[in-house]
Chain A
């Protein structure tokens, strides 16, 4: 099949998605402030176009969750997230932009929840609640002093930017849908290996750690290395396994996103990175204090 035939087939197979994205583009361009200060053209037509576009884009995947409640939650969260994101980047008042950003963040957390990440959803809500409040303070402190500012009523060249971004979105979507099997679904590892290791460890530790059940105990490093070697041997016997971080893999008893599994991944495989992240937070804190203006220098 030649390149042009492939392109034609691609366009025909994804016609619903392409038309939806075009509607969405027109919605964004309708609501986006122009290059000169002009009165708003009204949000309703742009909002309708955006809603139709987002719904059509999601419909074009022709997929449903097995659970009806999950399906309803997916639609609610993704539509709220994408429509609020669109309203946020087109808002003429930064206060509204911050509000829509908060809504988009909450909906993204709902999507995290649907993707087996409850801890991450809670953490994101907590972190961004503070972030949004601080942003509000900044907006009220800095932007609202002079009333409606000219730079909020105008935007740069919207059409080429929107076009480029949607070309990026379409390309990413097509590439992801044609993803090779390597990044496709991998079944959870059977935890017979880990259970066997934990059981022997439990027998060893039974005298020294009374009350500590085998399942509650964090295995020491040499044991984990032995497990890893055993897993590597088993994998070599069956088929090549690309994943090397054994602690991060979900097992049947601890599926993806469980607190224990996530903790083992963070404080097992990524312990050094966790320490580094703490250091980076400290450095950023110092930097922010150094950059922020001081009152003695005539600031604010």
Chain B
């Protein structure tokens, strides 16, 4: 296996090869973009996706460091990262379901009780009007038969 040529800086120290440096910067850029999305967007599902994007950037950096070191530890670490990311995604989607059940919305600004006391409450817009469908008037089926009777709930919601 050949070792990629190294870049000698002016001070004579051995630097990271420029091709691998490029890949490291791509990883860092993925992390930065994911961070921007996580901090600005308001959809809970989009926040999960942005977190995953940040993890991709970290994985890319770890793999590149492992390649530089001629060591499999970087890739082993990334496999663990993948495992934790799967756990995180599962738990986060379950949380999103629970939050959606309470608020009937995916807006993250509905959940600002844990803010600092001196920070102003973020504005919550009124529920947006349903956008007009681009298909015009959609035909509906004629109602037929009797209204279904509502079945009694077996269990009362727990207090």
Q: Contact residues of A with B, CB < 8 Å? A: 28, 32, 37, 54, 57-58, 61-65, 74, 78, 81-82, 85-86, 88-89, 94, 97-98, 101, 104-105, 108, 111-112, 114-117, 119-120, 123-124, 127-128, 131, 134-135, 138-139, 142-143, 146-158, 161-162, 165-166, 168-169, 172-173, 176-181, 183-189, 243, 245, 248-250, 252, 255-257, 261-262, 264-266, 269-270, 273, 277, 280-281, 283-285, 287-289, 291-293, 296-300
Chain B interface (Cβ within 8 Å of chain A)? 1, 3-4, 6, 9, 13-26, 28-37, 39-43, 45-46, 48-50, 52-53, 56, 59-60, 63-73, 75-76, 78-80, 82-91, 93-98, 100-101, 105-109, 122, 125-128, 130-131, 153-155, 157-158
Known contacts: A58-B22, A120-B79. The answer to whether A181 contacts B70 by CB under 8 A is no
On whether the beta carbons of A257 and B72 are closer than 8 Å, the reply is yes
With contacts A101-B53, A154-B42, A256-B75 known, is A114 near B4, CB below 8 A? Answer: no
Residues of A within 8 A of B158 (CB): 297
Residues of B within 8 A of A298 (CB): 153, 157
Q: Are A64 and B82 in contact (CB under 8 A)?
A: no
- Since A58-B26, A127-B85, A176-B21 are in contact, a sample of 11 more A-B pairs with Cβ atoms closer than 8 Å, ordered by chain A residue number, is A37-B125, A57-B29, A82-B29, A89-B40, A97-B46, A142-B100, A181-B13, A185-B69, A264-B72, A284-B86, A296-B154
- The CA of A185 and the CA of B18, in the complex, are separated in Å by 11
Question: B76 to A185, Cβ gap below 8 A?
Answer: no
Cα A135 to Cα B29 in complex, Å, equals: 23
Which chain B residue lies CB-closest to A116?
Answer: B67
Contact of B71 among A105, A143, A162, A249 (CB under 8 A): A249
Instruction: Check B29 against A169 for contact (C-beta < 8 Å).
Output: yes
Contact present for B33 and A185 (CB under 8 Å):
no
Q: Interface of chain A, helix or strand or loop or mixed?
A: helix
Interface of B is mostly: helix
B12 to chain A: closest CB distance in Å? 10
Contacts of B75 in A (CB 8 A): 117, 119-120, 256-257, 262, 265
Which residues in B have their C-beta under 8 angstroms from that of A138? 45, 93, 96-97
A99 to B115, CA, bound (A): 32
With A112-B60, A123-B82 already in contact, the answer to whether A256 and B40 are too (CB < 8 A) is no
Question: For residue B42, which residues in chain A have a CB less than 8 angstroms away from its CB?
Answer: 151-152, 154-156
A149 to B52, CA, bound (A): 23
B16 touches A281 (CB 8 A): no
Known: A116-B67, A269-B73. A63 touches B40 (CB 8 A): no
Contact B105 A151, beta carbon cutoff 8 Å: yes
Query: How far is B112's CA from A181's CA once the two chains are assembled, in angstroms?
Result: 46
Given contact pairs A111-B60, A177-B21, A156 touches B39 in the complex (Cβ within 8 A): yes
Whether B68 lies near A168 (C-beta < 8 A) is: no
A156–B47 alpha-carbon span in the complex (Å): 13
- If the complex has contacts A37-B128, A74-B22, A165-B33, are A185 and B91 also in contact, measured as CB distance less than 8 A? no
- Pairs of residues from A and B, 5 with the lowest C-beta to C-beta distance, nearest first: A89-B37, A63-B18, A150-B128, A284-B87, A265-B72
19 interchain pairs, CB-CB under 8 A: A32-B40, A65-B19, A78-B26, A88-B53, A112-B60, A114-B23, A117-B63, A131-B89, A138-B97, A150-B126, A150-B128, A151-B106, A158-B40, A169-B28, A187-B3, A269-B76, A293-B98, A293-B101, A296-B155
